[in-house]
Amino acid sequence: MRLRGVRRSSNIEDRRRNGRRGGGGALGGLGLGGVVVVLAIGYFTGVDVTPLLTGGAPSGSTASAPQDLTPEEARAAEFAGQVLTTTEDVWTGVFKEQLGETYRPPVMVLFSGETASPCGGASAATGPFYCPADRKAYLDTAFFATLAERLGAEGDFAAAYVIAHEVAHHIQNELGILGQVQQARQRSGEVEANALTVRLELQADCLAGVWAAHVDGLLEPGDIEEALNAARMIGDDHLQRSAGRVPQPHTFTHGTSAQRSQWFARGYDSADIESCDTFSAPKL
């Protein structure tokens, strides 16, 4: 993705200088292979797997002294801020042209290790998420390395897609969709609630595709394939197989690899918000 010359968004809250940083070595007696699998499950199922990584110890029991950011962390912040700027520019235009409304961008919180949010604790095990209560997207910048090195989703546009996906949840919040789905989930059983969440997540993938369609001038050869590959690598079925489990569709909360990549592609091909109505789609 060509980001040279793109300004860094001012809607960044960087908590990493005072954040907690985890230590090295095996966690919770799992060893490296087990840690990778558990992290993969936590990142993309919305389940806080911290107890599995710490052997049941409560998170946040110790804190390290504030540290200066490393060059890698500084680059990650610059990248996240620039990608956030592209979402601001795109959605400002799309809201005006397609909806006749004014777009209010979210704040992105960068953290390291763990932090707090009105939606609950955020840690390296919970992965990127959006909190509608404070209209902020939360991102541990170490996630970029996990995405590429451990989950097989390489490339800067794969990382950009993840940011665009979380911003898409903000779009859903702005349009009142998040609140409607939450109310419907509260009236539903577990299987039905999971199915609603899948539709919500696939819509966010589609909206990320709409964003990608409007940054064509910044795209490099292979960028869209990087995003599609990332979508496939974080499908519920793929992650469950990677964890040594037989995929259980009734437990899915984000959609299969095929569904996630297909809905991203639909948004990209149409460049239109209306194409992302997963809740009216008879088949996902």
pLDDT score for 72: 84
Asked, for residue 115, whether it belongs to a domain, the answer is yes
pLDDT score of 18 = 55
Q: What is the reported pLDDT for 45? A: 39
Dihedral angle over CA of 259, 262, 263, 265, nearest 10: 160
Q: Is there a contact between 254 and 236 (Cβ–Cβ < 8 Å)?
A: yes
Antiparallel, parallel or unpaired: β 120-123 and 114-117: antiparallel
User: Using an 8 Å Cβ cutoff, are 42 and 143 in contact?
Assistant: no
260 backbone dihedrals φ, ψ, rounded to 5°: -65, -45
Which among 280, 267, 281 has a CA at the least distance from the CA of 94?
267
Asked whether residue 178 is domain-assigned, the answer is: yes
Domain carrying residue 98: 12-276
With respect to residue 2, please indicate whether it lies within any of the assigned structural domains. Answer: no
Q: Residue 109: CB partners within 8 Å, gap ≥ 6?
A: 13, 14, 15, 115, 117, 122, 136, 137, 138, 139
CA distance 224 to 264: 10
The pLDDT of residue 279 is 96
What count of other Cβ atoms lies within 10 Å of the Cβ of residue 220? Answer: 12
**Nearest residue to 203 via CA among 159, 158, 241, 171:** 171
Q: Please give the chain's pLDDT, 284 residues, in tens.
A: 999 999 999 999 999 875 444 333 333 333 333 333 444 444 443 433 343 343 333 333 333 333 577 888 889 999 999 999 999 999 999 999 999 999 999 999 999 888 899 998 877 667 789 999 999 999 988 887 777 776 777 788 999 999 999 999 999 999 999 999 999 999 999 999 999 999 999 999 999 999 999 998 899 999 999 999 999 988 888 888 888 999 998 989 899 999 999 999 999 999 999 999 999 999 99
- Residues 6 or more apart whose CB falls under 8 angstroms from that of 140 comprise 110, 111, 112, 113, 122, 123, 124, 127, 128
Residue 35: inside a domain: yes
Assess contact for 273 and 90: CB atoms under 8 A. Answer: no
> Does 284 map to a domain?
no
Instruction: Give the count of domains, the chain.
Output: 1
The pair of structure tokens assigned to 80 is 């996240």
In a domain, 283, yes or no: no
Within-domain flag for 3: no
Token pair 């290790």 is at which residue? 113
Task: Return d(Cα 112, Cα 142) in angstroms, integer.
Answer: 7
Going across the sheet that includes 136-140, the strands are: 12-14, 107-111, 136-140, 129-131
C-alpha 271, offset from chain centre: 20
Q: What interhelical angle do 190-213 and 156-174 show, nearest 10? A: 120
pTM over 0.95: no
Instruction: Kindly state whether residue 6 falls inside one of the protein's structural domains.
Output: no
**244 Rama sector, left if φ>0, alpha if ψ -120 to 50, beta otherwise:** left
Question: Measured between alpha carbons, how far is residue 189 from residues 88, 203, 211, 250 in Å?
Answer: 36, 21, 33, 11
Q: Render 106-168 in DSSP notation, one character per residue.
A: PEEEEESSEEEETTEEEETTT-SEEETTTTEEEEETTHHHHHHHTSS--SHHHHHHHHHHHHH
